[in-house]
Chains A and B, each alone.
Chain A
């Protein structure tokens, strides 16, 4: 259980956040300047809040009312920073064992070190120095270093932000394994919808120092107003849980099924029968009032308009309920009026197969629904 209720003033910026969650992978999401890093530094103990309390698994780390402030070095929280922050004068192995030594957790056999090194795919780098590592390798070593300090909670401050797309794809599977195998709850700061959609089970949305929402990722991703285009995000879109049904090697396509119906996607390297999560971006969804014919798009779903977002600019976001599955579509306001769309109107949602963004594809999600049930939003 993670309980955070803090307020902090930094010049003109004021952070005021209050949430409680049982999530195993909690994403703090927001655009730059929303206070994500300020918040995670407060949790790590690198800064003191003006007011508030932070309780992790029943242990009070900060309570300004009672004058409690546990310094960072006594909190036993592993932190992974955006820039890695490996010690340049120590080898990879020494870096990895640095935290373990202070935790008194260095085991002589090196079994724990070996296990983490294999988990993160860095076992061949142990004798190197950080300046001889690639960006992706550095970040994995930084994660390993935090893990080996046997923390009660892992904090990650945009660990992928400084990497290019290829390196991000390289690390994502390790983060998924971490989530599923390490057994340590994770708080993950990110401004990338793709990362949040792929990894997290619980989402805390921050905006200008205020908390906009807190709850299960699956539910929050369906709220059209939380990821508005106005804040510079082109990434809004619903999360879909789907099962791989069949691989069509002839056309290089993968057939998936979800509650909305059957999907055809460019080939995904996932075995048949495996469940995946994918994010369908709002800008990639078209809406038609009648079933379209003679169209190239392969994915057409029948649904009803469930919600029409705020209409201040030229575009509007629409939530469409397709047999219990939610899709989000971004249309112009003009189109909405021309099609005479209103809540409850029957429509067809069209998704072009090739538009699918592979970065958002996640796996290993089987027990997500179960853990969502335990996450409480405040």
Chain B
């Protein structure tokens, strides 16, 4: 459950993360610091507060929740999709931060050079900018994934802790610790969590080396 939730959270928030990071890194506009603040809010707010805010806006009665239910039949409250949303919101600032930092370190002059070679701006982004920021994007995704795996407060507030529907790894561990004799189950899940996290780290390292190392390894 946790894996699915975390993966969906990362994949679904990636396009938004890229767009937000690009806007924050490249554009100057009125309200930029406000957007910046909103994006980073989940990082500083207590997770329970974030979860409650999600509940009142994306719940069945919330304005955003009603909108999504009507337009595409997507229900968040007390479903696994809600858990994914909570995880995405919590991981979003980390992802945006990582991508934005790598975007800011991209040599704009390379993009100019691509322009003089006939590439229009979308192509410049695809063929030059994106490959150059790939390590940053991957780092952002991993951070977001880790955050999603560990997310507890916002999830439990927003979608509760329903086994098989919204119960994620941390909330399952929490449940085990609350019942007598649950130590064994908790330990088992802890091991699972360790393995998954370690695997994600190693995978990210490998991906980042492949993406960033393409320029360094001569064929």
A46-B215 contact, Cβ under 8 Å, with A81-B109, A83-B109, A89-B132: no
Q: Is the CB of B127 within 8 A of A72?
A: no
Q: Is the CB of B219 within 8 A of A130?
A: no
B208 within 8 A of A: no
Q: Is the CB of B131 within 8 A of A89?
A: yes
Which DSSP category, helix, strand, loop or mixed, fits chain B's interface? helix
Contacts of B110 in A (CB 8 A): 85, 87
A72-B112 contact, Cβ under 8 Å, with A98-B117, A127-B219, A128-B218: yes
A73 within 8 A of B: yes
B120 within 8 A of A: yes
Q: Which of B98-131 contact A (CB under 8 A)?
A: 107, 109-110, 112-121, 123-124, 127-128, 131
Smallest distance from the beta carbon of A74 to chain B beta carbons, Å? 8
Contacts of B131 in A (CB 8 A): 89
Contacts of A44 in B (CB 8 A): 116
B27 within 8 A of A: no
**Docked complex Cα distance between A103 and B123 (Å):** 13
Nearest A residue to B120, CB-CB = A73
**Docked complex Cα distance between A83 and B109 (Å):** 10
Q: Is the CB of A91 within 8 A of B119?
A: no
Smallest distance from the beta carbon of B47 to chain A beta carbons, Å? 38
A85-B109 contact, Cβ under 8 Å, with A98-B114, A129-B215, A131-B216: yes
**Docked complex Cα distance between A79 and B217 (Å):** 28
| Tier of interface size on chain B | 20 to 34
Q: Is the CB of A78 within 8 A of B116?
A: yes
**Docked complex Cα distance between A88 and B131 (Å):** 10
A130-B116 contact, Cβ under 8 Å, with A81-B109, A98-B127, A102-B123: no
**Docked complex Cα distance between A98 and B110 (Å):** 12
Nearest A residue to B217, CB-CB = A129
Q: Which of A58-78 contact B (CB under 8 A)?
A: 71-78
The count of residues in chain A whose C-beta lies closer than 8 Å to any C-beta of chain B is 33
Which residue in A72, A75, A131, A155 is a CB contact (below 8 Å) of B215?
A131
Contacts of B194 in A (CB 8 A): none
Q: Is the CB of A81 within 8 A of B117?
A: no
Which residue in A83, A128, A149, A155 is a CB contact (below 8 Å) of B118?
A149
Among the interface residues B117, B127, B217, B219, which one has the most CB atoms of the partner chain A within 10 A? B117
Q: Is the CB of A146 within 8 A of B117?
A: yes
Q: Which of A73-119 contact B (CB under 8 A)?
A: 73-79, 81, 83, 85, 87-89, 91, 98-99, 102-103
A73-B215 contact, Cβ under 8 Å, with A88-B132, A89-B132: no
Contacts of A131 in B (CB 8 A): 215-216
A330 within 8 A of B: no
Which residue in B127, B128, B214, B218 is a CB contact (below 8 Å) of A132?
B218
- State the A residues within 8 Å of B (CB): 44-46, 71-79, 81, 83, 85, 87-89, 91, 98-99, 102-103, 127-132, 145-146, 149, 155
Please, could you name 11 A-B residue pairs with CB atoms under 8 Å apart, sorted by A?
A71-B120, A73-B120, A74-B118, A81-B113, A83-B109, A85-B113, A88-B215, A103-B118, A129-B216, A131-B215, A149-B117
Chain A to chain B: the 8 pairs with minimum beta-carbon distance, closest first = A102-B118, A99-B117, A79-B116, A85-B113, A72-B115, A88-B215, A89-B131, A73-B120
